[in-house]
Amino acid sequence: MSELYELIPYLVLSITALVSTISVYLAIIEKDLIKAVLYSAIQSTFYALIFYLLMVPDIVLVYIPVSVGLLPAILIIAVKKTEKYEDVTGISKTTSTIILTLVVIFTLISGYLLLLSHAITFAIFPSTDVRTLARWFLNTTLWWNRMFSAMSPESVTAIVWDYRGLDTYFETSVMYLAIIGALALARYIEIPKKVFKEEAMGMSIIGKMATRIMVPMILIVAVSIALHGHLTPGGGFQGGVTAAVTVSLLIFIFSVYFAARFFKINTAILLRIIGLTGIILAATITLIIGFLTGQQAYIFQNQPKVIAQIGLPYEIGGNLISGTLLIFNTSEFLAVVMGFAILFLLLSIPEENVMEVIRGEVE
């Protein structure tokens, strides 16, 4: 008997999935738009049931009123306004509208009744327990045991570093190679020296003044995103991309010559190399310490593990820095923002200058 009881949700799930698929099919082939709306409302009701069975009652509570009540109502109004029947059938418009309104109300009420009755009889509310996988990740990030965790409360960063370190490393390498490729293509091509009047170029004065004040503000927000990657959502890549926005703003609102004052390509390459060196250092620093002290250590190791007792300090004076994560985030920020700056500047060099260089090489 108890086995049957456990099977019931899956049975209901399969039936509702089947019914909703059928109503989608009917809604597509139906010529009368009002009836099509009706079928789609039925489908939404059964979707709501599926959501409930998949243990997300909060989504159901939003989904039923919106997609069974509100959406069909808006669709009816739209159909009534446009009067676009694909094919006029026997039912008159007012009758079908009344029928539809009744059906919408009925589905709304029955949906809620179904939900309530289901909740009372089957009692499969979402469990307050965490599942095994979630517990594993929580233990390896939030559980403050250095043998297992990356000592960072931001679980995404901790997992990226402790479980997907190689992955992240090669992602960075792909971007590094892409920018090396762009630089190789654009060899000998430089941003031309040009005397220009700031007043005469770029967008209007309102855009320019707003950009002047916002560029430092966007940069400082990007720095904050990057340096708090081990504490809050964000990190080196996200911060770097935010900061790269400023380069494109300077190029488009002012001019590429103006942007080149602040982001010189050669300086950008240098800073980018420093950033990449930092990333390599973050990946190998425990290994180097292990070599020097003659202990066992791994590449990409951050905190001490059971068989490799070396690790970087996870805090300095009570401030959490999560070992190598801070080095990694800072270096990644530098590498990403400078990489994007190089790309943006190279892409906005006027074509005449590029052609000059190319012709010169051919001759």
Partner 1 sequence: MASRITRAIPVAILAFIVYIIFTGSATHFDIVTGIIGAIIIGAVFGSIVVTNVHKFTQVWRYFWGLAYALHYFFVAEVLAHYDVTKRILNPKMPINPGIVKVPIDVSSDYSILAVANSITNTPGTVVVYVHPSKKYFYVNWINVTTPEPEGARKAISYIFEIFARKVFD
Partner 2 sequence: MSPIDFVLTVIGYILIGIGAFCQIVAGMGMNRFPNFFVRLHAATIAAIGGSFVPIIGCSLLALSFEELGDVRFFLAGGGFVAAVFLLILAPVGSHLLAKAAYFSKAAVLQPKVVDALEEDIRKGEVHE
Residue 214 in the binding site for partner 2 (CB under 8 A): yes
Tokens 């309102």 locate to 206
Give whichever of 220 and 355 is closer to partner 1, judged by the CB atom: 220
Give whichever of 206 and 292 is closer to partner 2, judged by the CB atom: 206
In the complex, the smallest distance separating the C-beta of residue 225 from partner 2, rounded to whole angstroms, is 10
Kindly state the helix (H) or strand (E) to which residue 316 belongs, with its residue range: strand 315-316
In the complex, the smallest distance separating the C-beta of residue 91 from partner 2, rounded to whole angstroms, is 29
Q: Which residues contact 341 (CB under 8 A, 6 or more apart)?
A: 244, 247, 263, 268
Among 7, 66, 113, 210, binds partner 2 (CB under 8 A): 210
Helix axes 33-53, 93-121, angle to 10 degrees: 10
In the complex, the smallest distance separating the C-beta of residue 55 from partner 1, rounded to whole angstroms, is 33
In the complex, the smallest distance separating the C-beta of residue 227 from partner 1, rounded to whole angstroms, is 5
Residue 204 in the binding site for partner 2 (CB under 8 A): yes
Side-chain-side CA neighbours of residue 118 (13 Å): 22
* Distance set, CA 259 to CA 7, 187, 248, 349 (Å): 65, 20, 8, 11
Among partner 2, partner 1, none, residue 126 binds (CB under 5-8 Å by kind): none
Q: Is the dihedral of CA 213, 218, 221, 227 positive or negative?
A: negative
Among partner 2, partner 1, none, residue 319 binds (CB under 5-8 Å by kind): partner 1
With contacts defined by CB under 8 A, name the span among 180-188, 208-216, 293-301, 304-312 that binds partner 2: 208-216
State the DSSP code for 306: S
* Distance set, CA 346 to CA 244, 276, 363 (Å): 14, 20, 23
Q: How many CB atoms lie within 10 A of CB 353?
A: 13
Give whichever of 1 and 206 is closer to partner 1, judged by the CB atom: 206
Within positions 227 to 256, which residues make up the interface with partner 2, using CB under 8 A? 232
Spatial contact of 306 and 296, defined as CB atoms under 8 Å apart: no
Q: Using CB under 8 A as the criterion, which residues of the chain lie in contact with partner 1 when the complex forms?
A: 204-206, 209-210, 212-213, 215-217, 219-221, 223-224, 227-228, 262, 316-321
Interacting residue ranges for partner 2, rule: CB under 8 A: 203-204, 206-207, 210, 213-214, 217-218, 221, 232
